[in-house]
Amino acid sequence: MWLAKSAVTPVVSGEYASRDRSRMAARISFSQYRLEAEIERCRAECQWDKIPTLVEQLVSARIHEDDDYGNLLLAEALLEECLQDNMALLRSSTPLTETDQPKLAKARAHLSAILNRGRLEPRYMNEALLLMAKLQYVQGRYRDAQGMCARAVLDDLTRDEQPLYHLRLLAEACVIKGLSLDHQAVSAASRVRLSERQEECLSCYLRACDAALLYLQELDKTVSVPQKGTKMNLSLGVDFDLGFFQLAALQSAYLSLLHKGHLAQGAHQLRRVLRAVDSRGSQSFRKAAARRLAEVLLSSVSEDSYWDPLSPPPLAWLNREGAAAPKDMLYPSSRPPQRYGTESVFCPQDVVEEAILLLLISESMASGDAVISRAPEHREAREASLQDATSVYDLLSIAMARRGQYAMLSEVHQNGAWLRFKIQCLERAMKFSFNEFHLWYQLGLSLMACGKGAGAVSVLKECSKMRPDDPTVPLLAAKVCIGQLHWLEEGEALAQSVVAMGDRAAELLPRAHLAVGLCRSLRATEATLKASRDEFNRMALESLKRAQELDPQDPQIALYLSLQLALTRQVSVAMEPLQTALSLRGDDLHSLHLLALLFSAQKHHQHALDTLGLALSQHPESFSLLFTKVKLEEVLYGPATALRTCEDMLQLWHSRYDYVRTSDTDESSSLPEPAPLSRKPSGLHLTLPDFQDCETRSQSAASIAASRLEQAMSEVSAISSAHRQGPAHIWATLEHIWLQAGELFMEEGRVKEAQFCAQEAGALFPASHSVLLLRGQLAEMRGLEAEAKTLYDEALTIHPGGYRILLHLGKLLVRMGRVSLGEKVLRDAVQAQSTAHEVWSGLGEALQSQGSSQAPDCFLTALELEASCPIRPFTVIPREL
């Protein structure tokens, strides 16, 4: 017996047996520590698929064999996996049922057994209560969930040296408590109780948000900074997906405030969240929060009521929302998350600037997370990433529109930069926008707004392929072709594609006929052959009449029909559609301008001037109206009166545009004010010269005038196009003013003043054919015919189709004795502009000098055309869609 026993149980001394038992206990203790640490890590990182294997190791190592710790782990893993599988139902607040969710039933069974037996230590019993609260909530039992949260001791989860997953449980418990309170009905009569419940919910949400942010920050540290002697764990990547309750913990506070209409407090909470130190697990949430804050700012905060991100909301906002202070100050967190410091940080200065910065952050994240794979299994992720990007670009468009409301031209340059940046963002979006109409359409509209017409037309054509039945897209492309690019054939083809849709184009069919008519009218103006010109005019008239038949109440169609009749010199007939246009829109600038031109064509100059006065009372800053007024005043009252209007135009130009030349002196100012005349840099004069030499003046006065002209010319030479800022049409307007003043000075015989005006205009555009024409006329006045011919030749080289240049050159050649060549040049002028009575008269004079029998016919044609000639060409009315 003894031998058998000794064979099974070795005999050792007491000293050695005690030493082996201590070593074995140490090994078990270390193994248990490693296993429990691994379990805590998986619970913190939500790696629920590893929990069953770890529970098996617990059972085999006989750890926690006297309690239900393993069942608690299994219950949590089953519950979390069930929630991951049913995110769509959770987002729609659809209760989960145990019959449809086997994992949920198993989790309930484990948790019920644990709570009934009560074999766990208090720490783990607390966790079981919180898990049961979560399970009750997802099943729609909100009162039971609230009761479980009340039984749990949440303060135990905030103590120091607690495992990391306790922060997650704390955040989830607080948000479950708040959501459960929100879902429970309260009697309408109990307003006090309702207010108390709302405050309790909000305090839960704020606590949940801070706990969730701290949890993600601490989790990021465990992943990024491994403990000494351990490997870095890279299991938690940038694409860490937040669970339903984690996301709810982060969002519920600001969503609740915004839902109640507390916009200032909601924006303040969003700013607090975004100021928290970033972590990889919060990337997707921060993208959504930044976009939501931009929405709130753009939709609810005006420029005047804006407050900077580092300040609390103004008291006026808080008082309107029934609060004395921000909620985060009323409910401070015991363990707040880390936030970025406020020293030496950039702070936006206005609401649009902050919104754009937020949207650029969101756009960067959306572009980086874009799913570009076209595989079927990635369809849902691709659509989600596209939706994120689309919402960001839509908000960017709104922000750009608000910034574009500034009238100051210095802001136009900044807007151009913003638009170019937006276009770059949209171009980045193209990588995941294959056949996505909305983003392509946004890109096309942005290119239009930025003045990149060719790119806009190309993009809009692609949009038209995506939606071939949408008439808006080709009409927009036709608009760009007509206005920005002057691609008339392309524009007509695009408009014809809408006409071909017929009834499918619906209310846009009349606009399509209008676009076709405008293209043909413009092509008639540019045609060099009379037969082609007449044919285009006829087709244009047909298209415009068809457009008016389809929509007789469109004032723009009536206006352009009247204009087309006027261009073909049917002045009396043009009055009828113009009256229709004015009856529909009596204050329209172009309709009133055309009415004045029609009156002038009928030689009712005083009526025309009165009409211009009415138009200028409604559009006082229209230079086009003012130029027509100058011409009428010249006819009615003489050049002196017209020159006073030119002086007014120079002052108007200064008040509107002069700061574009001074804004570069203060680059730090985003909205420079117009500089007064005394501080205006030398080089551009904005007053008309007066170099008259009256008989009463002394020789010194003439010397002063000459020195003034010399000084002006030297100052002008310092200005070049490189120093000009702003759109070209601004400077073209100033050039036109100087040229108009120069012509009036020539009418009075004041050559020096006219030369000064020519120099000022030439400083703006040295290669302008209009400036060369004026200089040629001045040379003729001084008897320098050879110099005049040279200037005319140079002007003709720049603008071969200029009929006024051909007219002056032809008449000069006739006076120089080169009659045959002059006749040829004048015939070219007639071909270039067959409705100009001056060229017919000049051609008649050339033929008469040769004794030709065709001269009387030319004079008769000139008289006939002169009888219907407006004071300015009808083509000054812009033809745009």
Closest CA to 170 of 133, 135, 199, 130: 130
Q: How many other CB atoms are there within 10 angstroms of residue 89's CB atom?
A: 16
Stretch among 408-412, 582-586, 591-595, 663-667 having the lowest mean pLDDT: 408-412
Closest CA to 135 of 80, 191, 205: 80
Locate 637 and state its tokens.
Answer: 């009252």
Closest CA to 348 of 670, 674, 673, 672: 670
Highest-confidence segment of 614-623, 712-721, 827-836:
614-623
Asked if pLDDT for residue 15 goes beyond 80, the answer is: no
Contact present, 566 and 598 (Cβ < 8 Å): yes
Residue 339 three-state SS: strand
Confidence grade of residue 701 (pLDDT, cut at 50, 70, 90):
very low
Confidence grade of residue 637 (pLDDT, cut at 50, 70, 90):
very high
CA distance 457 to 448: 8
Q: What is the 3-state secondary structure (H, E, C) of 472-510?
A: HHHHHHHHHHHHHHCCHHHHHHHHHHHHCCHHHHHHHHH
Residues 6 or more apart whose CB falls under 8 angstroms from that of 842 comprise 807, 810, 811, 814, 826, 829
Asked if pLDDT for residue 105 goes beyond 70, the answer is: yes
Share of the chain above pLDDT 70, in %: 79
Asked if pLDDT for residue 530 goes beyond 90, the answer is: no
Residues 6 or more apart whose CB falls under 8 angstroms from that of 607 comprise 599
Greater pLDDT, 220 or 714: 220
Residue 659 three-state SS: helix
The CB-side HSE value for 528 (13 A sphere, CA atoms) comes to 5
CA distance 2 to 226: 56
Interval 502-524: pLDDT, tens: 999 989 999 999 999 999 999 99
Q: Write phi, then psi, for 276 (nearest 5 degrees).
A: -65, 145
Q: Write phi, then psi, for 662 (nearest 5 degrees).
A: -105, -10
Asked if pLDDT for residue 720 goes beyond 50, the answer is: no
Asked if pLDDT for residue 271 goes beyond 90, the answer is: yes
Give the global pTM.
Answer: 0.71
Interval 790-842: pLDDT, tens: 999 999 999 998 999 999 999 999 999 999 999 999 999 998 888 899 999 99
Interval 399-456: pLDDT, tens: 877 765 322 222 233 344 445 555 555 555 555 556 778 878 887 887 887 778 898 9
Confidence grade of residue 383 (pLDDT, cut at 50, 70, 90):
low
Share of the chain above pLDDT 90, in %: 53
Closest CA to 687 of 613, 737, 732: 737
Q: Long-range contacts for 620-625 (Cβ within 8 Å, ≥24 apart)?
A: 621/652, 621/656, 622/589, 622/593, 623/649, 623/652, 623/653, 623/733, 623/736, 623/737, 624/593, 624/876, 625/589, 625/593, 625/596
Closest CA to 741 of 654, 630, 656: 630
Locate 400 and state its tokens.
Answer: 């750009």
Closest CA to 743 of 734, 731, 755: 755
Most distant CA pair in the chain: distance in Å? 159
Q: Write phi, then psi, for 333 (nearest 5 degrees).
A: -90, 145
Closest CA to 410 of 673, 173, 176: 673
Residues 6 or more apart whose CB falls under 8 angstroms from that of 699 comprise none
Asked if pLDDT for residue 764 goes beyond 50, the answer is: yes
What's the pLDDT score for residue 412? Answer: 30
What secondary structure letter does DSSP report for 309?
Answer: T
Q: What is the 3-state secondary structure (H, E, C) of 817-870?
A: CCHHHHHHHHHHHHHHCCCCHHHHHHHHHHHHHCCCCCHHHHHHHHHHHHCCCC
Confidence grade of residue 532 (pLDDT, cut at 50, 70, 90):
very high
Confidence grade of residue 497 (pLDDT, cut at 50, 70, 90):
very high
Highest-confidence segment of 223-232, 462-471, 665-674:
462-471
Locate 296 and state its tokens.
Answer: 């709130």
What's the pLDDT score for residue 658? Answer: 62
Contact present, 213 and 260 (Cβ < 8 Å): no
CA distance 540 to 491: 14
Interval 550-566: pLDDT, tens: 999 999 999 999 999 99
What's the pLDDT score for residue 63? Answer: 78
CA distance 562 to 554: 13
Stretch among 100-114, 253-267, 595-609, 702-716 having the lowest mean pLDDT: 702-716
What's the pLDDT score for residue 228? Answer: 42
Q: Write phi, then psi, for 339 (nearest 5 degrees).
A: -125, 155
Confidence grade of residue 230 (pLDDT, cut at 50, 70, 90):
very low
Q: Could you tell me the end-to-end alpha-carbon distance of the chain, in angstroms, rounded to an integer?
A: 115
What number is the average pLDDT over the span 162-177? 92
What number is the average pLDDT over the span 39-48? 91
- Coarse DSSP helix, strand, coil percentages of the chain, rounded to the nearest 5 percent: 75, 0, 25
Greater pLDDT, 413 or 42: 42
What's the pLDDT score for residue 368? Answer: 60
CA distance 493 to 500: 10
- 448 has which bridge partners? none
Asked if pLDDT for residue 657 goes beyond 90, the answer is: no
Asked if pLDDT for residue 289 goes beyond 70, the answer is: yes
What number is the average pLDDT over the span 140-159? 87
CA distance 637 to 639: 7
